[in-house]
Structure 1
Amino acid sequence: MKIVIVENYEEMSKRAAVIFASQIVLKPDSVLGLATGSTTIGMYKELINIYGRDALDFSKVSTFNLDEYYKLDEDNEQSYNYFMNENFFNHVNIKRDNINMPNGKSEDTVRDCARYDKKIVDLGGIDLQVLGIGANGHIGFNEPNTNFEAETRLVELEKQTIKANSRFFNSIGEVPTKAVSMGIKTIMQSKKIILLASGIEKADAIEKAVNGKITPELPASILNLHKDVIIIVDRDAASLLNK
């Protein structure tokens, strides 16, 4: 595990974008695992800027997103499908057929989640997976005490996660209580992982993920067992690492 501490959110976003861009340059048909949320917006903006300078080609790239809210319409402004289109997909030359999102509207989540994981395997696995981290240490929507052997599946969201995400909705009552998420096993099968964290509210989770024991109570701690992980954090998120 490599820890990269940068000054601020902007530098974190640029560092992450350079890693992603390099992956695509080295392997134009890369399979990329993508995340949503405010942490990743800056990275996507940087990638769009690089693309705008004719320095990056997404035409052969395939993508798989970490998660999607359960039973939220794709055109809902809070769906992750909508987020990805608005913040990334609509601004680069990725082919729509190469975009893969968990099916939050599925009537048979077990079947569709199995198909999702199978498609990842069929394409050779995820070359580079980006992750954020929740204040409770979740990655994707793998909440504390998750099964490390879990693959993509329907999950229940913790009250802390629902409260944290309520800032994007009109009220906490509108926040979905379930989501379809890649499991820890699916994430850990990625060839390379970068985890991004910004802000003082992520400091405790980062410190425990890096220095604490590997435990399902802190899902991100499992990343210590992956052979190629880069954690990029700003000064605030890294503030407890050396204490």
Structure 2
Amino acid sequence: MQLIVAADYAELSRWGAQFIARKLLQRPTLVLALPTGGTPLGLYQELARFYQERLLDFSQAITFNLDEFLGITPDHPASFRYYMEQNFWCRVNLRPEARHIPQSLPRNPEEECRRYEELLRDAGGLDLALLGLGENGHIAFNEPGTPFESRTHVAELTDRTRWNEALRFRGLEHVPKYAITMGIRTLMNAREILLLVAGAKKAQVLAQALEGPVTPAVPASVLQLHPNLTVLADCAAASLFRT
């Protein structure tokens, strides 16, 4: 594991974007797993700037989003598809057919999970998975207790996760109870992982995930076992590391 501590969120976003840019320049056909949420927003802005300044070309890249809520329309303002359209896809030259995200209204959710895994296999697997970290230790929507051998699956969201989404959905009662997510084995099969963590509220769970025991009770702890993991945290998030 390589730990990089950034001075602040702006530096974290720049460093993360430069990390991905180097990978894309080395491998134009890069297959990426992408997160949503507040933490990667600055990184997406930096990547879009690189493209606008003609420093990067996304035309051969392929992306797979980590997850999507079930039971809402794709154009719902709180859907992850909408987030990606607004914050990244519309700003770079990533081909529409190369932008993958689970369907939010599939006829058969289990079949959609199988289809997504097949798409990943057909793309040759993930070269790089960009991950965030939930306050309860989840990665993607793999909540505490998720088996480490899980593949893409329907996840039941915890109350804590749903509370964290309540503002975007304008009330807890509107937050879906289920989502489709890449499984832990799916993520661990990525050839490289970049974990992006910002803010003091993530400090305790980050230290627990990377310095505590490897256990399904803290899903992110499995990342300790990955052979090519880079952790990029700001000073606040890294403040409780013992070393």
Common fold: TM-score over 0.5: yes
- Structure 2 match to 1:73: 73
Separation in 2, partners of 1:120, 1:169 = 30
> What are structure 1's unaligned runs of at least 5 residues?
none
1:13-50 CA distances to partner (integer Å, 9 max, x unpaired)? Answer: 11110111111111111111100000110100000010
Measure the CA separation in 1 of the matches of 2:167 and 2:184: 26
SS at match of 2:39: helix
Paired position in structure 1 for 2:147: 147
Q: In structure 1, what is the equivalent of residue 111 of structure 2?
A: 111
Q: How does 1:190-205 map to 2 (within 5 A)?
A: 190-205=190-205
How far residue 79 of structure 1 moved from its aligned partner, in angstroms, is: 0.2
Cross-structure match for 2:19:
19
Q: Which runs of 5+ in 2 are unaligned?
A: none
In the TM superposition, 1:47-62 aligns within 5 A as 47-62=47-62
Distance (Å, rounded) in 2 between the aligned partners of 1:15 and 1:170:
33
Shift of 1:177: 1.1
Listed one character per residue, the Cα deviations across residues 43-68 of structure 1 (whole Å, up to 9, x for unaligned) are: 00000010011010010111100000
Question: 2:50 corresponds to which letter in structure 1?
Answer: I
Helix, strand or coil at the partner of 2:144: coil
Pairwise mapping of residues 1-243 of structure 1 onto structure 2 (< 5 A)?
A: 1-242=1-242
Deviations 1:61-112 (A, max 9, x none): 1110000001111101100000001000001111001111011211211112
Matched residue SS, 1:230: strand
Looking at structure 1, the residues matched to 217 and 115 of structure 2 have their Cα atoms a distance apart, in angstroms, of 28
What's the TM-score once normalised by structure 1's chain length?
A: 0.98
Deviating more after overlay: 104-113 vs 232-241: 104-113
Letter in 2 for 1:222: V
Distance of 1:52 and 1:220 partners within structure 2: 34
Query: What is the CA–CA distance in structure 2 between the aligned matches of 1:107 and 1:3, rounded to whole Å?
Result: 42
Helix, strand or coil at the partner of 1:150: coil
User: Where do 4+ consecutive residues of structure 1 move more than 4 Å?
Assistant: none
Shift of 1:199: 0.7
What is the number of residues matched between the two proteins? 243
Tell which deviates more after alignment, 8-17 or 166-175.
166-175
Over residues 92-147 of structure 1, what are the superposed CA-to-partner deviations in whole Å (9 max), with x where a residue is unaligned?
11100111101121121111211111111111111111000001000000000111
Within 2, Cα distance between the matches of 1:69 and 1:10? 29
